Amino acid sequence: MANIAPGLAVVIVGNDPASHAYVSSKSKMAKECGFTSVQHTLPEETTQEELAALVQTLNVDETLHGILVQLPLPKHLNSEPIIQSILPGKDVDGLHVVNAGKLATGDLDGGLVSCTPAGAMIFVKRTHGEDLSGLNAVVIGRSNLFGKPMAQLLLNANATVTIAHSRTKNLAEVCRNADILVAAVGRPEMVKADWVKLGATVIDVGINRIAAPERGEGKTRLVGDVAFDEAAKVAGVITPVPGGVGPMTIAMLMANTVIAAYRKANCPPPKF
């Protein structure tokens, strides 16, 4: 790996302020890590063909080991073909069907794992160790971006896993059985204290902006999917929003870029 700087390209289309905040923190962290950091900021009216052409250019760039297209894309663009056109070895977001498939079949060393679940798993393993045998885990949310890969990672570590979602009956009751409760539904403070088993590990992946009139007219604040103050009294470990899973997501993006760079150089990558 002599003198190879890992290279990360981040692509953002349009003017979504939350996306721009994420992207700037990702690019900043990449620079701090000493990576080759490239950011492509495209106008709102970018066409599907223009975006696809840029991804192809990044695919063949030997100095880049990771490519991330910030989601969501503007409404007129179809994100799926764009994501699937990224080379699996450069898909540091872990969303390509090849990487999703490797995770689903238990091949954790051959693919790249989606950053947010990978980051959430570090919290879980710091609390419970590598082997989750005998522990019940409940993941609320079944998205391809988080819910499904999170469930796969927990399953891989020998937890007994339930995936709950908007159609689940008696959701609170299901959650009360969880030693590890992971909330990723996008509904502010939905998970109440009486949903949480005493001493449980609670991982809150939600980021919701709600009105905060106490801060002044028109002011807002960020909250998770868990009612933090009340749940914290019951949980053994709980992640805050903001400041919990978010920074871990960016850290795992850097880790995936390093892994991709090692693989490109035919060197065994480090474990994170």
Domain ranges of the chain: 7-97+247-264, 115-241
- Express each pLDDT in 46-75 by its tens digit: 999 999 999 999 999 999 999 999 999 999
pTM score of the predicted model? 0.92
According to the model, what pLDDT value does residue 239 have? 97
As a whole number of angstroms, the distance between CA 161 and CA 172 comes to 16
70 is catalytic: yes
CA atoms of 90 and 67, how far apart (whole Å): 6
Catalytic annotation present for 93: yes
Q: Distances in Å between the alpha carbon of 219 and those of 214, 215, 222, 224? A: 8, 6, 11, 17
- CATH topology agreement for domains 7-97+247-264 and 115-241: yes
Instruction: Tell me which CATH code domain 115-241 carries.
Output: 3.40.50.720
Q: With contact defined as beta carbons under 8 Å apart, do 240 and 249 qualify?
A: no
Fold of 7-97+247-264: Rossmann fold (3.40.50)
For residue 16, the number of C-alpha atoms closer than 13 Å in the C-beta half-sphere is: 13
pLDDT, residue 2, reads 59
Which of the residues 26, 102, 197, 264 is marked catalytic? 26
Asked about 26 being catalytic, the answer comes back as: yes
Q: Which of 70, 91, 179, 197 is catalytic?
A: 70
Ranges of residues in the chain whose predicted pLDDT is under 70? 1-2
Catalytic residue among 90, 91, 93, 225: 93
